[in-house]
């Protein structure tokens, strides 16, 4: 396939060369005729682009017989970018329309909610206070096994009457009766200084917590009751970079899972991770299982956040590189480093968000809209306008201290939070992991974005010994994000493991 035209190969002879020339001439004439005919119902618009926003579009009538100059310009515009057309054609005309078509059942109810102002009114039901700055709303997350949960989220934009402070609290109740609670208070410009601060508290009550063993990747279920107390303080050091220091205290109490789970033959420790100098420990105490201990963590990190909006980031980036030292009782001390970089690229100068008027004009998802998009003159504008491409790179490594054995949560992990969205939770664990992700976002409705993503992750005993042959994992899929400028509502995604398996995510959490 070259420049959208089919080419044929003939014998190297005068007659063959004549056929080639005739065929190319015929193809070119065919392309001219196709380019000259507008798609059914298509309009020719004169769009003026600004640096930050999309200006009004004036619609002109379509001539029944376009002049030759217009035809030549359209042919040159197409032929000048043959590689672009070939590379991006599947994304725009197969993947993106496919996502929009597959997610069509979610669009009519959301469109109805928008037309009837249901979402704004429903959001208002959960907002309180004179300035509507206090909100509490339910959350639901559907996942495999016992990872499904429901709960509630509380947010206050000015808990003490100061707009530079934020309070958030989360309660999560799992289908098996386990629950988690987390709350934190963040403040910008402490006391009129350049310092930012944060304090937090978390509580876990898990009777059947799941831990995937390194190397063998088999689950082991245990009980865990824990509380954590965290403090952070950051200060600007260079341009938009800030130096962050923190101190956390984690109180862990591990125990056995309920008999219905613990007595299963498959609930057995088999990984070499539990092999000590004195032999294999079937109780797991070598790694902190069936023990109670304190973990005092010291943190130093360099952070930078230039995103335009937390809920609808169109450009900018987010960077964090940190070193953590865990001073753990019972000889479980270790240290680690983690790094994450996410960058956002807005394609085109047009406004990303769809207005209420545009939403009404779009109507619904229909086959004729997909057919009209196949017109070649729309390809570059469709690919490089009103879209956002997101790249993320993540890496981390943990290190044993001499005479110590890090606890079960010490190794790095790959999973939904890395993200590798086709694997729930902390699916793959080892001393070192790295992952990369790319996501293509495009607006469908005023508060809904379509997404297409592809992710890869690999793990190993160290960064220098990552096993790409046996430990490389892929996650790809599509979905929708429903959000407002000041609140992320939920996401629905279908994620696949390479070429097999599927995981459905319905959650109020956002991976990035």
pLDDT at residue number 308: 84
Q: What is the mean pLDDT of the chain?
A: 77
> What is the enclosing helix (H) or strand (E) of 39?
none
In three state form, how does the secondary structure of 438-449 look? EEEEEEEECCEE
Task: Report pLDDT digits (tens) over 226-245.
Answer: 999 999 999 999 989 999 99
Task: Look up residue 187 and give its two tokens.
Answer: 């403040």
pLDDT tens track for 103-124: 556 556 666 665 656 555 665 5
* Nearest of 239, 249, 340, 251 to residue 299 by alpha carbon: 249
* Residue ranges making up the domain that contains 359: 82-116+321-512
Q: What is the pLDDT of residues 402-429, one digit of tens each?
A: 999 999 999 999 987 788 888 877 889 9
User: Among the ranges 60-64, 214-218, 316-320, 494-498, which has the highest mean pLDDT value?
Assistant: 316-320
Question: Which residue(s) pair with 245 in the sheet?
Answer: 233, 300
Q: Is 271 helix (H, G, I), strand (E, B) or coil?
A: coil
pLDDT of residue 253: 97
Q: Is 38 within a domain?
A: no
In a domain? residue 72 = no
Q: Could you give the CA distance from residue 408 to residue 289 in angstroms, rounded to a whole number?
A: 7
- Residue 403 has which token pair? 């005479």
Torsion of CA 105, 495, 154, 296, to 10 degrees: 180
498 HSE (CA, 13 A, CB side): 5
The C-alpha atoms of residue 407 and residue 282 are separated, in whole angstroms, by: 15
Beta strands in 213-315 (DSSP E): 219-238, 241-256, 275-276, 279-280, 292-305
Task: Report the C-alpha gap between 144 and 425 in whole angstroms.
Answer: 10
CA distance linking residue 452 with residue 444, whole number of Å = 13
Return d(Cα 343, Cα 370) in angstroms, integer.
30
Q: Among 33-47, 186-200, 337-351, 352-366, which stretch is predicted with the lowest mean pLDDT?
A: 33-47
Per-residue pLDDT at 258 exceeds 70: yes
Question: What is the C-alpha to C-alpha distance for residues 451 and 440, in angstroms, rounded to an integer?
Answer: 6
Residue with tokens 């609140």: 487
* 503 pLDDT above the threshold of 90: no
Q: Give a yes or no: residue 362 inside a domain.
A: yes
Can you give the pLDDT at residue 173?
93
Three-class secondary structure of residue 332 per DSSP: coil
Q: What are phi and psi of 58, to 5 degrees?
A: -100, 125
Per-residue pLDDT tens digits for 283-342 = 999 999 999 999 999 999 999 999 988 888 989 999 999 999 999 999 999 999 999 999
468 in a structural domain: yes
Given pLDDT bands bounded at 50, 70 and 90, which one contains residue 380? low
459-463: average pLDDT: 93
How many domains are contained in the chain?
1
CA–centroid distance for 411 within its chain: 23
Label the pairing between strands 432-445 and 387-400: antiparallel
Omega before 419 within 30 of 0, i.e. cis: yes
Exposure on the CB side of residue 259, measured as CA atoms within 13 A: 0
The CA distance from 354 to 360, in Å, is 10
Residue identified by tokens 């009209």 is 372
At residue 375, φ and ψ (nearest 5 deg) are -65, 130
Q: Can you give the pLDDT at residue 356?
A: 72
Of 328, 333, 326, 252, the residue nearest 290 (C-alpha): 252
CA angle 132, 133, 137 (to 5 degrees): 85
pLDDT for position 391: 95
DSSP states of 24-64: HHHHHHHHHHHHHSPPTT--EEEEEE-SSSEEEEEEEPPPS
Would the CA dihedral through 368, 370, 375, 381 be positive or negative? positive
Q: Which of 132-146, 333-347, 472-486 has the lowest mean pLDDT?
A: 132-146
Average confidence (pLDDT) over 385-391: 87
pLDDT of residue 29: 35
pLDDT value, residue 99: 59
- pTM for this prediction: 0.74
CA distance 489 to 507: 9
Termini Cα distance of the chain: 37
Q: Of 62-76, 161-175, 364-378, 436-450, where does mean pLDDT reach its minimum?
A: 62-76
Coil, strand or helix: which one is 37? Answer: coil
Confirm whether 473 is domain-assigned.
Answer: yes
Q: What is the pLDDT of residue 349?
A: 79
What is the rounded CA–CA span in Å between residue 220 and residue 429?
Answer: 13
- The answer to whether position 16 is within a domain reads no
Q: Return the percentage of the chain with pLDDT > 70, whole number.
A: 69
CA 466 to chain centre: 24
- Taken in order 8, 14, 18, 19, the sign of the CA dihedral is negative
Q: Is the pLDDT of residue 213 over 90?
A: yes
Give a yes or no: residue 217 inside a domain.
no
Q: Per-residue b/e over 11-29, b at no fewer than 16 CB within 10 Å?
A: eeeeeeeeeeeeeeeebee
Measured between alpha carbons, how far is 289 from 416 in angstroms, rounded to an integer? 24
pLDDT, residue 117, reads: 60
DSSP category for residue 305: E
Instruction: Dump the DSSP string for 180-209.
Output: EEEEEEEEESGGGSS-EEEEEEEEEEEEEE
Does the residue 315 lie in any domain?
no
């Amino acid at each position: 396939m070259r420049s959208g035209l089919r080419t044929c190969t003939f014998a190297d002879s005068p007659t063959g060369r004549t056929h080639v020339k005739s065929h190319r001439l015929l193809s070119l004439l065919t392309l001219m005729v196709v380019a000259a005919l507008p798609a059914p119902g298509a309009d020719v618009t004169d769009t003026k682009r600004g640096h930050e926003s999309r200006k009004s579009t004036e619609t002109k009538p379509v001539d029944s017989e376009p002049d030759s100059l217009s035809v030549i310009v359209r042919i040159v515009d197409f032929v000048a970018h043959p590689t672009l057309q070939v590379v991006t054609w599947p994304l725009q005309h197969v993947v993106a329309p496919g996502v929009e078509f597959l997610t069509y059942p979610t669009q009519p109810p959301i469109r109805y909610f928008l037309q009837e102002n249901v979402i704004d009114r429903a959001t208002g039901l959960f907002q309180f206070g004179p300035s509507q700055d206090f909100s509490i709303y339910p959350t639901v997350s559907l996942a495999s096994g016992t990872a499904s949960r429901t709960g509630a989220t509380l947010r206050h934009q000015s808990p003490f009457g100061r707009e530079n402070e934020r309070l958030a609290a989360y309660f999560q109740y799992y289908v098996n009766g386990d629950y988690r609670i987390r709350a934190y208070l963040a403040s910008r410009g402490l006391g009129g200084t350049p310092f930012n601060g944060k304090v937090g508290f978390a509580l876990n009550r898990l009777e059947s917590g799941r831990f995937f063993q390194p190397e063998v990747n088999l689950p082991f279920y245990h009980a865990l009751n824990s509380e954590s107390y965290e403090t952070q303080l950051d200060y600007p050091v260079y341009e938009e970079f800030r130096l962050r220091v923190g101190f956390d205290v984690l109180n862990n109490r591990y125990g056995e899972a309920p008999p219905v789970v613990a007595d299963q033959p498959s609930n057995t420790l088999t990984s070499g991770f539990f092999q000590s100098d004195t032999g294999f420990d079937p109780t797991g105490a070598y790694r902190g299982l069936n023990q109670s201990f304190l973990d005092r963590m010291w943190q130093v990190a360099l952070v930078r956040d230039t995103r335009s909006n937390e809920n609808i980031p169109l450009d900018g980036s987010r960077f964090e590189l940190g070193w953590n030292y865990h001073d753990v009782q019972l000889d479980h001390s270790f240290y680690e480093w983690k790094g994450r970089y996410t960058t956002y690229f807005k394609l085109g100068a047009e406004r990303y968000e769809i207005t209420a008027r545009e939403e009404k004009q779009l109507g619904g998802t229909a086959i004729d809209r997909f057919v009209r998009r196949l017109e070649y003159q729309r390809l570059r504008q469709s690919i490089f306008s009103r879209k956002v491409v997101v790249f993320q790179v993540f890496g981390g490594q943990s290190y044993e201290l001499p005479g110590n054995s890090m606890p079960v949560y010490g190794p790095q992990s790959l999973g939904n939070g890395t993200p590798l969205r086709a694997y729930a939770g902390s699916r793959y664990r080892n001393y070192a992991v790295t992952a990369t992700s790319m996501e293509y976002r495009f607006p469908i409705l005023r508060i809904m974005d379509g997404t297409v993503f592809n992710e890869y992750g690999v793990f190993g005993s160290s960064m220098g010994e990552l096993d790409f042959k046996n430990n490389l994992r892929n996650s790809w899929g599509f979905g929708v994000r429903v959000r407002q400028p000041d609140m992320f509502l939920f996401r629905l995604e279908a994620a696949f493991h390479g070429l097999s398996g599927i995981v459905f995510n319905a959650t109020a959490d956002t991976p990035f």
